[in-house]
Copies of this chain bind each other. A is one copy, B any other.
Amino acid sequence: MWPNRRLLDLLGTELPIIQAPMAGANGAAMAIAVSEAGGLGSLPCAMLDADKVRAEIGVIRQQTTKPLNTNFFCHTPEEPDPDAEIQWRKALERFYLELGLNLSAAAPAPNRRPFDDEMCTIVEEVVPEIVSFHFGLPAKELVRRVKSAGCTVIASATSVAEASWLQDNGCDAVIAQGYEAGGHRGMFLAEDITTQAGTMALVPQVVDAVSVPVIASGGIADARGIAAAFALGAAGVQLGTAYLLTPEATISELHKDALRSAKDDQTMLTNIFSGRPARGLVNRIMREAGPMSDAAPIFPTAGGALAPLKVKAEENGRTDFSSLWSGQAAALASEMGSGELTRQLAEDGLKLLARLGGRAAQSIL
Residues of chain A in range 225-277 having any CB-CB distance to chain B below 8 Å:
225, 227-233, 263-269
Return the contact of A198 from the options B2, B3, B178, B358 (Cβ within 8 A): B178
B200 touches A178 (CB 8 A): yes
Chain A 305-346 near chain B by CB (<8 Å), digits 1 or 0: 000000000000000000000011101100000000000000
Copies in the complex: 2
Known: A197-B265, A231-B228. A361 touches B352 (CB 8 A): no
Q: Is the CB of A160 within 8 A of B3?
A: no
Given contacts A1-B359, A232-B224, contact A264 B201 (CB under 8 A): yes
A194 to B232, CA, bound (A): 25
The distance from the CB of A289 to the nearest CB of chain B, in whole angstroms, is 14
Are B265 and A1 in contact, with the CB atoms below 8 A? no
| Contact indicator B198/A353 (Cβ below 8 Å) | no
Judge if A190 is at the interface, Cβ distance under 8 Å. yes
Q: Are A352 and B200 in contact (CB under 8 A)?
A: no
CB nearest neighbor in B for A160:
B264
Asked if A114 CB lies within 8 Å of chain B CBs, one says no
Given A3-B359, A353-B357, A364-B354, A268 and B194 touching (CB < 8 A)?
Answer: yes
A219 contacts which of B1, B201, B265 (Cβ < 8 Å)? Answer: B201
Nearest CB of chain B from residue A121's CB, rounded to whole Å? 36
Chain A residues 76-114 with CB under 8 Å of chain B are none
CB contacts (< 8 Å) of A268 on chain B: these are 194-195
Known contacts: A198-B198, A198-B199, A265-B161. The answer to whether A354 contacts B357 by CB under 8 A is yes
Interchain CA distance A357-B2 in the complex, whole Å: 9
Beyond A200-B180, A222-B204, whether A360 also contacts B195 by CB under 8 A is no
